[in-house]
A and B are shown apart, each in its own frame.
Chain A
Amino acid sequence: MPTFTIVHLEYLSWAALWTIGLSAIAFLGGGLLGFAMALARISPNRWVRNAAAVYIQIIQGTPLLILLFLIYFGVAILGFNRVPAILAAGVGLTIYASGFLAEIWRGCIESVPKTQWEAAECLAMTRWQRMTRVILPQAVKIATPSTVGFMVQIVKNTSLASVVGFIELSQAGKVINNSIFEPFKIFVIVAIFYFAICFPLSTWSRSLERKLNVGRR
């Protein structure tokens, strides 16, 4: 009976890098798209606002698993034979993250008091200047804890990417278990890997909060 060896640990380490990579893709892509959606949600134009709201509702109302299936098989129906797993997983998680980040960030932007908009408006600043110079710097501070909290969610949700054939941390754990049948040991180690990825994020969030607090307790 084979047992857990350094080779398995190496395999898990590679898989952990894929988990980190996929998380980074999801966060960067989802962040860009989500930020655009957050701005669209508070646009002065009603149509833009409503379109963004519909997009967010659809994404938030769809399980990530289904979203991944839809992209993986949907693109195949469109005529592309094999979608690379990394592409399907990356696009799926990006869309998923955008729907949630948009709503988190919209809330943060709107929680900056209306009087701040008014003060900037009365100084003849344009809407763009008000947003970038007055509102966003304050919203970033409010958004930090919830954004990092969601980043941790993304890291853990990458485990669903295994359904489209993507080998990340938990899929690698399953693969190893299929050969050596030591589920408890293997998945404790997998869990430690996840913790090692997520814990620094939370620590980083706290230090960011402190840094953003400079000059205002």
Chain B
Amino acid sequence: MSAVVSLTNVHKRFGAVKVLNGVSFEVGRGEVAAVIGQSGSGKSTALRCINALERIEEGTIEVCGHAVHDPKLDRRALRRDVGIVFQSYNLFPHLTAEQNIMLAPMCVKSLSKADARTLAQDVLARVGLAEKADHYPEQLSGGQQQRVAIARSLAMQPKLMLFDEVTSALDPQLTGEVLKVMEDLARGGMTMILVTHEMSFARKVATKVVYMHRGTVWETGPGAMLDDPQTPELRKFVGGEM
């Protein structure tokens, strides 16, 4: 299996605090990798490093053929291949749902307005929000905003999607509707890396689980690994979650 993402011995510090302490893992095409771990274990930072939102001090990161660790990285080329969805949605508040989605394809891929609108309708339908096209973010629930954010990323047709604790700000019911969209994506063959606290979702959908602890990959394996933890830390973590 060809690796879409591979991190090798990645180190990252914020000031005096070592956040990533030699992180290595790989994600292959069509895989769904769930990165789990306590708050402060470095999982969100690792995800942000993959998208070059954070600079790393040491190690290498290869994403869809881009050398992300290289200072000469073409960030825009990387971002055309990689979509990311944030915990706080980060929709553009001055644009409707549809305009949020149309903006990047028109700016970056020079799509005509009509084509961009068709595309927006298509991705909105995929996340079950076709009828909300004309709504502004503030008129949507958290779950709906997050689904628009996913649609906005999808419209750029990324080869890899990153999800940074996308359901952490949502109540259980809204979490369900977002997870369903993500499950559909996974089933459609999208390569995904998600930082998540949703253990049951990781168990069900993830083809690979990466358990991070103290800035390193402590344990990694298939989804079933959560039912049979090898390290006491993961056992304690999984136990605490259930």
Chain A interface (Cβ within 8 Å of chain B)? 115-116, 118-126, 129, 133-134, 137-138, 141, 215-217
Q: Is the CB of A124 within 8 A of B90?
A: no
CB distance from B163 to the nearest CB of A (A): 12
Summarize A's interface: helix, strand, loop or mixed. helix
Question: Cα distance A103–B152 when bound, in Å?
Answer: 34
Q: Does B104 contact A (CB under 8 A)?
A: yes
Interface size class of B (residues with CB under 8 A): 20 to 34
Across the interface, name the chain A residue whose C-beta is closest to B51: A122
A-B contact pairs, 10 of them (CB 8 A): A118-B86, A123-B108, A123-B156, A124-B77, A124-B104, A125-B104, A125-B107, A138-B93, A216-B136, A217-B138
Contact residue among B77, B80, B96, B107 (Cβ-Cβ distance under 8 Å from A215): B96
Contact residue among B103, B136, B137, B139 (Cβ-Cβ distance under 8 Å from A123): B103
Q: Is the CB of B86 within 8 A of A115?
A: yes
Q: Does B84 contact A (CB under 8 A)?
A: yes
Q: Does B13 contact A (CB under 8 A)?
A: no
Question: Cα distance A133–B79 when bound, in Å?
Answer: 18
Q: Is the CB of B53 within 8 A of A118?
A: yes
Q: Does B83 contact A (CB under 8 A)?
A: yes
Most buried by A among B51, B82, B92, B156: B92
CB distance from A168 to the nearest CB of B (A): 39
Most buried by B among A123, A125, A133, A215: A123
Across the interface, name the chain A residue whose C-beta is closest to B48: A118
CB distance from B154 to the nearest CB of A (A): 11
Question: Cα distance A116–B137 when bound, in Å?
Answer: 13
Q: Is the CB of B94 within 8 A of A121?
A: no
Q: Which residues of A contact B139 (CB under 8 A)?
A: 215
Question: Cα distance A216–B100 when bound, in Å?
Answer: 14
CB distance from B92 to the nearest CB of A (A): 6
Q: Which residues of B contact A216 (CB under 8 A)?
A: 93-94, 136-138
Q: Which residues of A contact B94 (CB under 8 A)?
A: 137-138, 141, 216
Q: Which residues of A contact B136 (CB under 8 A)?
A: 215-216
Q: Does B204 contact A (CB under 8 A)?
A: no
- 7 new A-B contacts, CB < 8 A, other than A123-B156, A216-B138, are A120-B104, A121-B53, A126-B76, A133-B107, A137-B94, A215-B96, A216-B137
CB distance from A124 to the nearest CB of B (A): 4
Question: Cα distance A129–B103 when bound, in Å?
Answer: 10
Q: Bits for B144-166, please: 1 = Cβ < 8 Å to A, else 0.
A: 00000000110010000000000
Q: Which residues of A contact B153 (CB under 8 A)?
A: 123
Question: Cα distance A125–B53 when bound, in Å?
Answer: 14
Q: Is the CB of B90 within 8 A of A133?
A: no
Q: Which residues of A contact B138 (CB under 8 A)?
A: 215-217
Q: Is the CB of A118 within 8 A of B90?
A: yes
8 nearest CB pairs, A to B: A123-B104, A119-B90, A124-B79, A215-B136, A129-B107, A124-B80, A124-B108, A115-B90
Q: Is the CB of A115 within 8 A of B79?
A: no
Contact residue among A118, A124, A133, A138 (Cβ-Cβ distance under 8 Å from B76): A124
CB distance from A54 to the nearest CB of B (A): 29
Q: Which residues of B contact A121 (CB under 8 A)?
A: 53, 75, 79
Q: Does B21 contact A (CB under 8 A)?
A: no
Q: Does B41 contact A (CB under 8 A)?
A: no
Across the interface, name the chain A residue whose C-beta is closest to B80: A124
Q: Does B44 contact A (CB under 8 A)?
A: no
Q: Is the CB of B103 within 8 A of A115?
A: no
Q: Known contacts A134-B92, A215-B136, A216-B93; is A124 also within 8 Å of B103 by CB?
A: no
Question: Cα distance A126–B79 when bound, in Å?
Answer: 11
Contacting residues of chain B (84-134) with chain A, CB-CB under 8 angstroms: 84, 86, 88, 90-94, 96, 103-104, 107-108
Question: Cα distance A211–B79 when bound, in Å?
Answer: 35
Question: Cα distance A123–B90 when bound, in Å?
Answer: 12
Q: Which residues of B contact A125 (CB under 8 A)?
A: 103-104, 107-108
Most buried by A among B80, B84, B107, B156: B107
CB distance from B69 to the nearest CB of A (A): 18
